[in-house]
């Protein structure tokens, strides 16, 4: 559908995710990305992290009942065109989000299965991994990095693109969702992404969009920015392939631009 439905001109996009007070990842990145793609951004905070570009010092999970209050306050008043889910923290948070999703059924639901930060710090308790896996069939698009993809299919991480696509196929089969297989963590000069769906929802089972690696250390928050962008553009265009073809060059540009940022002494944020 080329013409957006009334009111979707500026899609109303909710991020359900954790806070990164240093502004690089989490809801801070999500809100910047949603705005960059012409959406109206909202954020219900699952977790407070104390972190900077060097890593996560502490995580505080507010009571799940308070997350439920945030979610209900939003959906009681506002039509939500798309939801992006990021850091969930523990099984209590996952159960709360699940109950709310089953009630509200947002038209676009992108799930970034955040488990471990690039710094190696855990963002999801290990005991909650099964609950996260059970949440995946509620998503329309799942955006794991290669380590998360491997973990979700119960295999070793792949360094070959063909191996990653095969795992993407398994995850798509297991969930019925579309999986965005991301080449960002491959070694080598190529950085492809692919949409994989085995339920006939796309024009082909695998739609690959090639790309070249952007050499930068400033990639903190890339996954958050990508999943929020996909949710926002999908709400506008209603076509995952068109959304990826719009978002992928934007993200490469943002990574290229990150050298202009002088933020922190560690793995700096992507600039957008």
Tell the smallest beta-carbon distance from residue 42 to ligand PLP (Å): 16
**Both structure tokens of 135:** 């949440």
**Both structure tokens of 28:** 């801070």
Tell the smallest beta-carbon distance from residue 24 to ligand PLP (Å): 7
Tell the smallest beta-carbon distance from residue 86 to ligand PLP (Å): 4
Cβ distance to ligand PLP smaller for residue 178 or 258: 258
Cβ distance to ligand PLP smaller for residue 39 or 269: 269
Tell the smallest beta-carbon distance from residue 259 to ligand PLP (Å): 17
| SS3 annotation, 139-208 | CCEECCCHHHHHHHHCCCCCCCHHHHHHHHHHHHHHHCCEEEEEHHHCCCCECCEEEECCCCCCCCCEEE
Cβ distance to ligand PLP smaller for residue 183 or 237: 183
Helix 26-36 with 222-237: angle, nearest 10 deg: 40
Tell the smallest beta-carbon distance from residue 191 to ligand PLP (Å): 15
Cβ distance to ligand PLP smaller for residue 87 or 165: 87
Tell the smallest beta-carbon distance from residue 73 to ligand PLP (Å): 21
Alpha-carbon distance values, 216 to 35, 71, 200, 206, 255 (Å): 24, 36, 37, 28, 7
Q: How far apart are CA 15 and CA 47, in angstroms?
A: 12
Which residues of the chain form contacts with ligand PLP (CB under 6 A)? 17-18, 20, 25-26, 49, 51, 86-87, 114, 117-118, 123, 220-224
DSSP code string of 218-257: --BTHHHHHHHHHHHHHHHHS-HHHHHHHHHHHHHHHHHH
Q: How far apart are CA 106 and CA 272, in angstroms?
A: 26
Report the residue closest to ligand PLP, judged by CB. Answer: 26
Q: How far apart are CA 21 and CA 26, in angstroms?
A: 9
Cβ distance to ligand PLP smaller for residue 169 or 182: 182
Cβ distance to ligand PLP smaller for residue 136 or 237: 136
């Amino acid at each position: 559908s080329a013409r957006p439905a009334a009111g979707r001109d500026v899609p109303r996009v909710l991020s359900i995710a954790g806070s990164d007070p240093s502004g690089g990842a989490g809801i801070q990145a999500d809100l910047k990305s949603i705005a960059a793609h012409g959406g109206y951004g909202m954020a219900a905070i699952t977790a407070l992290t104390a972190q900077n570009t060097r890593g996560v010092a502490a995580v505080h999970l507010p009571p799940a009942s308070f997350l439920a209050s945030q979610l209900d306050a939003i959906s009681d008043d506002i039509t939500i065109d798309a939801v992006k889910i990021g850091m969930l923290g523990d099984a209590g948070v996952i159960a709360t989000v699940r109950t709310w999703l089953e009630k509200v059924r947002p038209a676009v639901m992108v799930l970034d299965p955040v488990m471990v930060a690039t710094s190696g710090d855990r963002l999801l308790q290990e005991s909650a991994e099964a609950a996260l896996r059970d949440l995946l069939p509620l998503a329309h698009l799942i955006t794991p990095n290669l380590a998360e993809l491997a973990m979700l299919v119960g295999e070793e991480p792949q360094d070959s693109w063909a191996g990653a696509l095969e795992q993407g196929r398994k995850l798509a089969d297991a969930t019925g969702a579309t999986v965005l297989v991301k080449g960002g963590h491959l070694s080598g000069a190529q950085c492809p992404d692919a949409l994989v769906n085995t339920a006939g929802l796309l024009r082909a089972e695998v739609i690959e969009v090639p790309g070249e690696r952007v050499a930068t250390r400033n990639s903190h928050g890339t996954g958050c920015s990508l999943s929020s962008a996909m949710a926002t553009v999908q709400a506008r265009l209603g076509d995952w392939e068109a959304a990826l073809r719009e978002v992928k060059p934007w993200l490469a540009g943002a990574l290229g631009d990150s050298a202009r940022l002088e933020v922190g002494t560690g793995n700096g944020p992507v600039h957008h």
